[in-house]
Amino acid sequence: SQQGEEDPQALSIQEGENATMNCSYKTSINNLQWYRQNSGRGLVHLILIRSNEREKHSGRLRVTLDTSKKSSSLLITASRAADTASYFCATGNSGGSNYKLTFGKGTLLTVNP
Amino acid sequence: DSGVTQTPKHLITATGQRVTLRCSPRSGDLSVYWYQQSLDQGLQFLIHYYNGEERAKGNILERFSAQQFPDLHSELNLSSLELGDSALYFCASSVAPLGGTEAFFGQGTRLTVV
């Protein structure tokens, strides 16, 4: 079953605009990660935020985490056509010695030149 | 290049057959994860191995099995294949299973069952 749910499912913006994607999840987590996937290719890790962190930056990426609302957001500033891809949030859960990384269904971002 | 190698890249086989997908993790990574990605189901977690031991199971069918060998490479065996098993199968590796670290993904094996 999916742990994270991204919103919106699809987003189309113009180059230079900011893109915001949201992720909601259901159970407690150790961390939340965002990944990017270009069509049919492997996923690439973008950023990891731990459950005791509220905000993290990496280049043009900004991630927030609100554990009370069980939600996270990914902001891509000054978007470029090359940012066109699917973006997934993934939640890391550790139940005892078992560790899962569970992905949502993703947001398809299209950045128009 | 993530450092994770998956073979083969493409596989076409008939229903009822058995196939083996192979994954070599990044050097030094002890954890290997297998995922199935299809249009309707999204990215489904199948199974996680750490240093040769199974650590977590997801939505893995009984017809599917996996193992991680002493050299840390992993194989995913899919048997009695059905049309619905057609999907992209990804392997990912990470340094450690607990606490959470980033996972590095291979380029996937595209399985087509005809």
In the prediction, which pLDDT does A95 show? 58
- The string of pLDDT tens digits covering residues A51-109 is 999 999 999 999 999 999 999 999 999 999 999 999 999 988 765 555 778 888 899 99
- The string of pLDDT tens digits covering residues B38-84 is 987 788 999 999 999 998 888 899 999 999 999 999 999 999 999 99
Alpha-carbon span B107 to B2, nearest angstrom: 9
CB contact under 8 A, A41 and B101: no
CB contact under 8 A, A30 and B103: no
Alpha-carbon span B106 to A8, nearest angstrom: 27
Residue-by-residue DSSP string for A47-99? EEEETT--EEEETTEEEEEETTTTEEEEEE-S--GGG-EEEEEEEEEEETTEE
Higher confidence at residue A7 or residue B69?
Answer: B69
Chain B residues with beta carbon closer than 8 angstroms to that of A104:
42
Which residues in A have their CB inside 8 Å of a CB on B? 1-2, 30-31, 33, 35, 40-45, 48, 50, 88, 90, 92, 94, 97-106
